[in-house]
Amino acid sequence: MVLAGDTVVARDDVTLGKPADRAEAEAMLRSLSGRRHEVVSSVALHDLASGRAIVDAAVSTVRFDELDVATLARYLDGGEWRGKAGSYAIQGDAGAFAQLESGDWDNVVGLPMALVNELVTRWNSST
């Protein structure tokens, strides 16, 4: 059995993954500044032996404060944006300007455990 998951940030019709460099991180954060966006985490359970799989996604809404030049520079200088979808980690320094409005906290931070539990329940009830 394999459990897999990944997360993206979605703003309007744009999907923001992990930034390649500081310039891309800055562009992503500027695009989120003063706006709401969605954090979408997909989770899959896959039984390699049988090929059976079940997949679903959790969605949370996050609102960013307006980022001034100093706040943006300080955040980028800290490097927390590296390896983060949308270039931020709400559980870290970005928590000063990013607020969860709806959905589950653990969906934004990492693995959405409510969804994992739901998938396991669905898996077990269909066997």
pLDDT tens-digit profile of 17-29?
A: 999 999 999 999 9
Provide the H-helix boundaries in the chain.
22-32, 69-78, 105-109, 113-125
* pLDDT confidence band for 47 (50 / 70 / 90): very high
Q: Are strands 36-46 and 53-64 parallel, antiparallel or unpaired?
A: antiparallel
Tell me how far CA of residue 115 lies from CA of 11, 26, 82, 84, in angstroms: 22, 31, 26, 21
CA-wise closest residue to 109 among 45, 55, 39, 49: 39
- Check 6, 56, 93, 104 and give the catalytic one: 6
Domain that holds residue 28: 2-125
CA-wise closest residue to 39 among 64, 68, 69: 64
pTM (global) more than 0.75: yes
pLDDT at residue 110, as a whole number: 85
pLDDT at residue 126, as a whole number: 84
pLDDT at residue 27, as a whole number: 97
Where residue 56 sits, what CATH number does that domain have? 3.90.950.10
6 catalytically annotated: yes
pLDDT at residue 122, as a whole number: 95
- Token digits for 61? 């809404």
Domain count, the chain: 1
Average pLDDT rounded to a whole number, residues 98-104 = 97
- pLDDT over threshold 80, residue 6: yes
- pLDDT over threshold 80, residue 109: yes
* pLDDT confidence band for 97 (50 / 70 / 90): very high
> What own/partner pairs with CB < 8 Å and gap ≥ 24 does 15-23 have?
16/85, 16/86, 16/87, 17/85, 18/83, 18/84, 18/85, 18/87, 19/81, 19/82, 19/84, 19/87, 22/76, 22/81
